[in-house]
A and B are shown apart, each in its own frame.
Chain A
């Protein structure tokens, strides 16, 4: 079955530590996205990538970094510079725009990150 796999499901970060969240998709999608969701709030875009070796900052990129070395993979690193990392992190992917129509995003199951 095709889909988006995020790991781990739960992650704990110590002070001063960098942690990396994994996102892998086998849907052959071109675009991949990382969102952060805080309790009772909507999704806020961290980074997105439309093609391998290229990515753009979203609305809340500070304290995060990404790479896109393979089409299937878009890992997110939460650095020690991110002072309030506790949140639900969602990875999504979509196929490229079809003419004027954007295509829907599909989501992984998410990673819950907490501070120890």
Chain B
């Protein structure tokens, strides 16, 4: 069983809409969750970190964490064509210092 799972997409939303990206993780003690954005041919860049249950907002981005249900999500409000990229979910479990990445969700924002 994979440690971290994401729908590969592609996910298409019209410009100005809300894009919702989801990630589930395996049943282990987990503490730290991260969302990265990766443009085609580029390296991942950190968007959000979230450590406790609930919502965390940063500009147009909101990360939501629900440890009881083992999922973390990323909402992008007022989606822009420049948000078109692959979004990677990463989890750092309490045991060890490895990060486990999902395979990513491809998002396309249609002008």
What residues make up the interface of A, taking CB atoms closer than 8 Å to B? Answer: 31, 33, 35, 40-43, 45, 48, 50, 58, 90, 97, 100-110
Inter-subunit contact A101/B44 (CB<8 Å): no
Known: A43-B88, A48-B97, A102-B97. 10 other contacts (CB 8 A): A35-B101, A40-B8, A41-B103, A42-B88, A100-B31, A101-B31, A102-B31, A105-B90, A107-B43, A108-B43
Inter-subunit contact B103/A42 (CB<8 Å): yes
Q: Mark B77-111, 1 if CB is under 8 A from A, else 0.
A: 00000000000101010100111011110000000
Q: Would you call B34 an interface residue if the criterion is a C-beta within 8 Å of the partner chain's C-beta atoms?
A: yes
Q: Report the bound CA distance from A58 to B100 in whole Å.
A: 11
In the complex, what residues of A have CB within 8 A of residue B32's CB? 101-104
In the complex, what residues of A have CB within 8 A of residue B44's CB? 43, 90, 107
Inter-subunit contact B42/A109 (CB<8 Å): yes
Interface size class of B (residues with CB under 8 A): 20 to 34
In the complex, what residues of A have CB within 8 A of residue B97's CB? 31, 48, 50, 97, 102
Which one of A42, A90, A107 lies within 8 Å of B104 (CB-CB)?
A42
Which one of B45, B98, B102 lies within 8 Å of A45 (CB-CB)?
B98
In the complex, what residues of B have CB within 8 A of residue A107's CB? 43-45
Q: Report the bound CA distance from A48 to B46 in whole Å.
A: 19
Inter-subunit contact A105/B99 (CB<8 Å): yes
In the complex, what residues of B have CB within 8 A of residue A100's CB? 31, 94
In the complex, what residues of A have CB within 8 A of residue B99's CB? 33, 45, 102, 105
